[in-house]
Homo-oligomer: A and B are copies of this chain.
Amino acid sequence: MQGAFNRDDLLEQLARSIFTGEYAPGEFLPREVDICHTYNVSRSTARSALQTLADTGILVRISGQGTRVRDPREWQLLDPRVTHWLTLYSEAGQFYMQDLLDFRASVEPFVTMEAATRASAADLHAIEDALSGMEAAWHTSHAGRIDPLFDVFDVAFHEAVYAATHNVIWTQLSHVLKPIILAQVARTNRTTDSLLESVACHRRVFEAIRLRERRQAGEATQAMLDRTAADLATNAVAF
- What is A's interface to B at a CB cutoff of 8 Å? 44, 47-48, 51-52, 55-56, 73, 76-79, 96, 99-100, 102-103, 106-107, 110, 114, 167-170, 172-173, 176
Which residue of B is nearest A102, CB measured? B167
Measured between beta carbons, the chain B residues less than 8 angstroms from A176 are 78
A103–B172 touching, CB < 8 Å = no
Measured between beta carbons, the chain B residues less than 8 angstroms from A48 are 47-48, 51
One complex includes copies of this chain to the number of: 2
Measured between beta carbons, the chain B residues less than 8 angstroms from A168 are 73, 77, 96, 99
Measured between beta carbons, the chain B residues less than 8 angstroms from A77 are 168-169, 172
Minimum C-beta distance from A223 to chain B (A): 19
Measured between beta carbons, the chain B residues less than 8 angstroms from A55 are 52, 55-56
Minimum C-beta distance from A198 to chain B (A): 25
Q: Considering the chains assembled together, what is the distance between the CA atoms of A58 and B197 in angstroms?
A: 41
Q: Considering the chains assembled together, what is the distance between the CA atoms of A103 and B173 in angstroms?
A: 12
B167–A103 touching, CB < 8 Å = yes
Measured between beta carbons, the chain B residues less than 8 angstroms from A169 are 77-78, 99-100, 103
Q: Considering the chains assembled together, what is the distance between the CA atoms of A170 and B56 in angstroms?
A: 17
A173–B51 touching, CB < 8 Å = no
